[in-house]
């Protein structure tokens, strides 16, 4: 879909198409619909990022709390959204050994117990080794810093999902 088509969508269709660019947070798409017309894909991305940045801390933590764990029960139980299933599979999280699954579960629990929200990382930009390394490294972060770091990962996930839905802008092509 190109940006002209995006701008012509009624809000119901806009939410249908973009409702999961932020995992399980259709309110984000429903909110930024009001900011149309978007001049480009980059403008749509910026509108979503601005909406997220304007949320209070509790809102940002709410976004994080609806993310499925990496290699967690949703993956094991087949209840991931299609987007998350694709992303986690691409990072090799669906082929972990039993020991790796246990290690991820232990570290995810340690992280959640410490921060009160789950560890979030853009799986498509990482692999299982880097994800485990980041999980251990970020466990040591101060809470406010880690919240910002995790939201940055949400924005990366969102950007990649948007790139799969909206064709790059032709307007700046010679």
Ligand X SMILES: NC(=O)NC1=NC(=O)NC1=O
145 is catalytic: no
Beta strands in the chain (DSSP E): none
Structure token digits, residue 105? 């579960």
With residue 54 as reference, give the H or E element that holds it: helix 41-54
DSSP state letters, 134-174: HHHHHTTS-HHHHHHHHHHHHHHHHHHHHHTTSPPPSTT--
Report residue 154 CA to chain centroid gap.
4
Complex with ligand X: residue 43 or 74, whichever CB lies closer: 74
Site mask for ligand X (CB under 6 A), range 52-71, x = bound:
---------------xxxx-
Which residue in the set 14, 22, 47, 118 belongs to the binding site for ligand X (CB under 6 A)? Answer: 118
120 binds ligand X (CB under 6 A): yes
122 binds ligand X (CB under 6 A): yes
User: 10 Å Cβ neighbour count for 19?
Assistant: 15
Q: In the bound complex, what is the minimum distance in angstroms from residue 84's beta carbon to ligand X?
A: 3
Site mask for ligand X (CB under 6 A), range 68-107, x = bound:
xxx-------------x--xx-------------------
Residues in contact with ligand X by the rule CB under 6 A: 67-70, 84, 87-88, 118-124, 157
Q: What residues are labeled active site?
A: 67
């Amino acid at each position: 879909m190109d940006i002209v088509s995006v701008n012509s969508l009624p809000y119901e269709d806009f939410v249908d198409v973009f409702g999961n660019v932020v995992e399980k947070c259709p309110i984000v798409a429903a909110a930024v619909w009001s900011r149309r017309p978007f001049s480009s894909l980059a403008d749509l991305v910026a509108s979503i990022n601005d909406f997220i940045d304007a949320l209070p801390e509790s809102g940002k933590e709410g976004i994080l709390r609806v993310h499925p764990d990496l290699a967690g029960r949703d993956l094991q139980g087949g209840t991931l959204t299609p987007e998350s299933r694709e992303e986690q599979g691409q990072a090799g999280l669906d082929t972990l050994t039993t020991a790796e699954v246990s290690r991820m579960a232990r570290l995810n629990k340690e992280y959640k117990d410490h921060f009160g929200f789950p560890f979030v990382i853009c799986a498509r930009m990482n692999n299982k080794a880097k994800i485990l390394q980041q999980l251990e490294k970020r466990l040591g972060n101060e809470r406010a810093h880690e919240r910002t770091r995790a939201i940055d990962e949400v924005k990366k996930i969102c950007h990649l999902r948007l790139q799969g839905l909206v064709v790059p802008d032709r307007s700046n092509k010679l």
